[in-house]
Amino acid sequence: MTTIQEAAPREPAGVRREALYFAVRNGKLMAGFGIVLVLLLLGLFGPLLFAGVPNDYGTRPMSPPSGEHWFGTTTFGQDVFLQFVHGLRSTFVVGVIGGGIAAVIGMFVGFVAGYRGGIVDEVLNMLTNVILVIPTLAVLLIINAYLGIRSVAVQGLFIGLTQWPWAARAIRAQTFSLRTREFVDLARMSGSGTGKIIAKEIAPNMSSYLFMTFILLFGGSVLIASSLDFIGLGPTEGVSLGLMLQNANQWSALQLGMWWWFVPPGAAITAIVGALYVANVGLDEVFNPKLRET
Amino acid sequence: MSLQVSELRVYYRTLKGDVRALDGMTFELRDGEILGLVGESGCGKSTLGKSLIRMDGRMRRVGGTVTLDGHELPIDDDRRMNDYRFREVSLIPQYAMSALNPTRKIRRMVTELLRSRGTALDTAELERRMDQVGLPREVLDRYPIELSGGMKQRMVMVISTLLDPSLLIADEVTSALDVSTQKAVARALLGFRDSGYVKSMIFVTHDLALTHHIADTIMVMYAGKLAEKAPADVIVKAPRHPYTRLLLESLPEVGVRYTERRLEGIAGSPPSLLDPPAGCRFRDRCPIAGEECAQEPPVAELAPDHHVACWKA
Amino acid sequence: MRRYFGRKLLIYGLTFFVAVTVNWMIPRFMPGDPIASMVARANVTNAQAVEAMRAYYSNLFGLDQPLWQQYVNFWGALAHGDFGISIWLFPTPVTDVITQAVPYTLALIIPSVLLSWVVGNRFGAYAARRKLLDNTVLPVGYVLTAMPYMWLAVLLAWGFGVLLGWFPVAGGYSFSMRPNWSWTFVLDLLHHWALPFLSLFLVALGGWAIGMRNMIIYELESDYSSYLSALGAPSRLIRRYAFRNAVLPQITGLALQLGVLVAGALVTEIVFAYPGLGSLILKAIQNKDFFLLQGTFLFIVLGVLIANFIIDIVYVVVDPRTRAGMAGAQA
């Protein structure tokens, strides 16, 4: 579990340069984003650079890593490295779609509930709490089992639809504390509507917080997707890191000692999610001077 | 002589450079004296208060000494300073409303705090002092959240002075309170001095009117430096520094509180302490500034106990 | 306090209602004729089972009846504990299949969650604002918490099971044994339990340590900590107070993480072929046993709700503010 400390809102103008100053000097931030960037590039360009269909059976099954097959081959002779680069791509797609949709819903619910207050807040808060309590994976199990999710994008969509509640709650609390600030009062007195105040006054003042929320949602989506894949409810089309783990487990890679089959996909998920979390800590330190090391 | 501060310089380290929050402060405080420390926000008065008990991580002593009852205080050595805290120097913080651990009952918290300082709790004494400030004894068996703001404030006052410190720093203790509670708090502080719980006190505030009621001496600070220091009546009735005069003029009448916003009635704003200009720091806002003000005015004792840093005084 | 619990129970009641409704709705939203497609997808060759399936689905869906009647019937069946009959283990009732698996899941999840919470909090609290420790606890914590549960499970199984051969890597007990209350069997159970437990424990540990470390830093910045420092209190006392205050949000965090922890237990069981709910779900999916899947879903939701309520009670006991009748807890 990762928490974000309350990000104290400050006037944006002078802060931005200072934030950048600390950002490029923050080892956590740079290392985290660096790792993610490398894997992202591999996922983006890998499938273009290395020709071949990842699930095609090959002629040399069960061979350990070699010059020809960098990450070895599966029981069916599939090239693990080829699956790996395609799987990376799916992982990023699920993260962006799932995290993005969850962030959008969470922001909408959080802003409206926090800014409007009153009965709107009561209703939205109740809805948030109800969905928050339902175990996400269990719901996704049912949905995926019945609907038979085919594509990575649709999987991301459903993950996004179930992931938003905690983000909504966090954003609601932040909005609540900003609502009574002077600059918001000023905007309200000058006749701005709710939407405009949220978009122009509130959201920019917690942009760093929103970005960090998205990062956590991204990581959460990746982890949930890999669990779904592993249970056998992954996308029926394409390759993903979770599906690779599932196949490895299903075809006894463990007992056969084929470590090259199950180590890379798990390591990649861990690296992406872990690097994002670490980058998030870095971001927190950049935007929240109290946390900087003195 | 209770407290002697000489040439104290404390800077804040920031990205852009050092902020000279205290730039050569020298003053004395006698036993039994209550010093009102007045000035606009950012003038260094809170920095002075903090420097005397606990500097925060960004603060750095650049020079000067603080001597309390003949001992030099190791103000920039957090560990060694612990010996003096609570016993010799104590604090009633600005944030008294949230100064008590929310998950401990008051009695337990006080007991644990005292035990950590190697002292046992004298319940009878504690209760006597609580009576003195009008706190019912049941308060001891309550959690902080169950107390009103005023009760928390008084409880913190009692706790802070429990070890009879020589010097008490009261940092903006009245700013969060309504007028009648302010008076009560001020009375209680006077009572503490008269009962000998504290020898001397620095009362940091931006409320000149209230200070007049409680302080023996008032010290006005401007931009990290001493502007004027004199007995309370003299400051109010016969100020010599133009800044003090403007401060007093911005008060509608004595006895009515002014707020910081009204202080902005003095045209202009204080200079940046990042790279303060040479000469008198009040020069740009001063109605009577002249040629000589390009030189920094020294602090002069115009009359006994009346110190002013101004060429025109 | 009554308000607090009233509100909580309302949320849990609503949640259960939503879960049951979703459970009822989804099969009906499937495109095409649900019964035919399900029977076809079930791929069951046993003629008796096909007939039973058809009868059960027809009865359950009661498609000739109005929708509201179908819905009421569904609740009625639930009230009798009737989750239908498992296709995979025909003709065992789903309830029986689930109750056999639940003890294994609980035995795995309760100790690993509680222990990881306690140990993680200790580690995190100790590491906060201590440079050297912080620099080790933090990275290790982040790696652990970023690991997919099943991957650590696979790694442990491979290392300690396959390579070293210290622990079995499949099942809840040895195939050669029959469940009984002898010491040898209990030891065998523990032997099989150790690795899945360790796996769950470790992944969860990282998250708690990080959460606690962040909370402690936050508390050490708080006013009451500053006040104690100004009065010269030793950092031991200040840290103890900070810990006590930081534990409260961690309790709320435990409630919020329950879903993730359950999910972790499910996939860990699958790796180790541990005979709990996770393996049940896998079998249900592989055999298209929708009754079993839906029953397990409701069981999990119910379990999470109960756990949430227990945590609420604990919170009230621990946080003086909720007991004092103040609106301290928000969750």
Write out pLDDT tens, residues C53-98. 677 666 666 666 777 887 888 888 888 877 777 777 777 888 889 9
Name the more confident of C82 and B75. Answer: B75
The answer to whether the beta carbons of residues C298 and A138 sit under 8 Å apart is no
Q: Is B88 helix (H, G, I), strand (E, B) or coil?
A: coil
DSSP one-letter code for B6: E
Interface contact A252, partner C, CB < 8 A: no
Task: Point out which residues pair with B63 in neighbouring strands.
Answer: B9
Q: How confident is the model at residue B18 (pLDDT cuts 50, 70, 90)?
A: confident
Is the torsion defined by CA of B141, B93, B73, B161 positive or negative?
negative
Residue B265: the pLDDT is 60
Average of pLDDT values for C207-230?
91
| Rounded Cα distance, C171 and A45, in Å | 42
| Per-chain mean pLDDT for chain B | 87
Among B54-68, B248-262, C45-59, which is the least confidently predicted range?
B248-262
Domains and CATH numbers, chain A: 13-291 (1.10.3720.10)
What digits encode the pLDDT tens for the residues C273-285? 999 999 999 888 8
**Contact: C241, B146; criterion CB under 8 Å:** no
Average of pLDDT values for B21-45?
90
- Chain C CA closest to residue A256: C162
**Contact: C293, A248; criterion CB under 8 Å:** no
By CB neighbour count within 10 A (0-12 exposed, 13-18 middle, 19+ buried), where does C5 fall?
A: middle
Task: Point out which residues pair with B60 in neighbouring strands.
Answer: B11
CA C196, C199, C204, C209: dihedral to nearest 10 degrees?
A: 140
Q: How confident is the model at residue B43 (pLDDT cuts 50, 70, 90)?
A: confident
Q: Is the pLDDT of residue A209 over 60?
A: yes
Name the nearest CA neighbour of A262 among B170, B222, C217, C148: C148
Interface contact B46, partner C, CB < 8 A: no
Residue C227: the pLDDT is 94
What percent of chain A lies above the pLDDT cut of 90?
30
Among A72-76, A224-228, B100-104, B293-297, which is the least confidently predicted range?
A72-76
Q: Is the pLDDT of residue A237 over 70?
A: yes
Sequence letter at residue B165: P
| Per-chain mean pLDDT for chain A | 83
| Rounded Cα distance, B219 and B284, in Å | 21
Q: How confident is the model at residue A11 (pLDDT cuts 50, 70, 90)?
A: very low
Name the more confident of C40 and B12. Answer: B12
Q: What is the pTM of this model?
A: 0.84
What percent of chain B lies above the pLDDT cut of 70?
95
Q: Is the pLDDT of residue A218 over 90?
A: yes
Q: Is the pLDDT of residue C31 over 70?
A: no
The answer to whether the beta carbons of residues C239 and C248 sit under 8 Å apart is no
Residue B263: the pLDDT is 46
Residue C44: the pLDDT is 61
Q: Is B190 helix (H, G, I), strand (E, B) or coil?
A: helix
Domains and CATH numbers, chain C: 17-79 (no CATH), 95-327 (1.10.3720.10)
Q: How confident is the model at residue A157 (pLDDT cuts 50, 70, 90)?
A: very high
Q: How far is CA C310 from the centre of its chain?
A: 14
Name the nearest CA neighbour of B44 among B77, B85, B83, B12: B12
What digits encode the pLDDT tens for the residues B144-169? 988 888 889 999 999 999 999 999 99
Is the torsion defined by CA of C35, C40, C41, C43 positive or negative?
positive
- For chain B, counts of helices (H) and of strands (E): 10, 12
**Contact: A18, B15; criterion CB under 8 Å:** yes
Pairing of strands B71-72, B59-68: antiparallel
Q: Is B287 helix (H, G, I), strand (E, B) or coil?
A: coil
* A-C Cβ pairs (cutoff 8 Å, strict): 183
Residue B191: the pLDDT is 92
DSSP one-letter code for C93: B
Task: State how far residue C316 is from chain B, nearest Cα, in angstroms.
Answer: 12
Interface contact C158, partner B, CB < 8 A: no
| Rounded Cα distance, A150 and A157, in Å | 12
In the block, residue with structure tokens 């997808």:
C41
How many C-beta atoms surround the C-beta of residue A36 within 10 A?
22
Q: Is the pLDDT of residue C166 over 70?
A: yes
Average of pLDDT values for C37-49?
64
What digits encode the pLDDT tens for the residues C268-327? 999 999 999 999 998 888 887 778 888 898 889 989 999 999 998 898 888 877 776 544
Sequence-ordered list of residues with C-beta below 8 angstroms from that of A234, at least 6 positions apart, any chain: A149, A155, A225, A228, A240, A242, A243, A246
**Contact: A255, C218; criterion CB under 8 Å:** no
The answer to whether the beta carbons of residues B19 and B44 sit under 8 Å apart is no
Structure tokens that stand for B249 in this block: 């003029």
Average of pLDDT values for A82-88?
90
Angle between helix axes C235-272 and B106-116 (nearest 10 degrees) is 110
What digits encode the pLDDT tens for the residues B215-267? 999 999 998 899 999 999 999 888 999 999 888 887 655 444 545 444 446 77
Domains and CATH numbers, chain B: 3-253+264-308 (3.40.50.300)
Sequence letter at residue B80: R
List all residues of chain B from 49 to 88 with a beta carbon under 8 Å from chain A.
Answer: 57-58
The answer to whether the beta carbons of residues A164 and A109 sit under 8 Å apart is yes
Interface contact A227, partner C, CB < 8 A: yes
Among A19-33, A59-73, B267-281, C148-162, which is the least confidently predicted range?
A59-73
In the block, residue with structure tokens 């594509």:
A151
Q: Which secondary-structure segment (H or E) carries C271? A: helix C235-272
Structure tokens that stand for B87 in this block: 């016993």
Q: Which chain C positions have a beta carbon within 8 Å of B156's beta carbon?
A: 227
**Contact: B58, A294; criterion CB under 8 Å:** yes
The answer to whether the beta carbons of residues B117 and B87 sit under 8 Å apart is yes
| Rounded Cα distance, A132 and C15, in Å | 9
Q: What ipTM was assigned to the predicted interfaces of this complex? A: 0.89
The answer to whether the beta carbons of residues C54 and C39 sit under 8 Å apart is yes
The answer to whether the beta carbons of residues B51 and B59 sit under 8 Å apart is yes
Interface contact A42, partner C, CB < 8 A: no
| Rounded Cα distance, A115 and C80, in Å | 45
Name the more confident of C286 and A273. Answer: A273
What percent of chain C lies above the pLDDT cut of 90?
35
DSSP one-letter code for B295: S
Q: Could you report how far apart the first and last alpha carbons of chain C are, in Å? A: 14
- Chain C CA closest to residue B75: C230
Q: How confident is the model at residue C234 (pLDDT cuts 50, 70, 90)?
A: very high
Name the nearest CA neighbour of C210 among B212, A4, A228, A33: A4
Helices (H), chain A: 12-25, 27-49, 80-116, 118-133, 136-147, 152-163, 165-179, 182-189, 194-197, 203-205, 207-228, 241-250, 253-256, 259-287
Task: State how far residue C227 is from chain B, nearest Cα, in angstroms.
Answer: 6
Interface contact A228, partner C, CB < 8 A: no
Q: Is the pLDDT of residue C200 over 80?
A: yes
The answer to whether the beta carbons of residues B20 and B221 sit under 8 Å apart is no
Q: Is the pLDDT of residue A1 over 60?
A: no
Radius of gyration of chain C (CA): 24
- Chain A CA closest to residue B14: A18
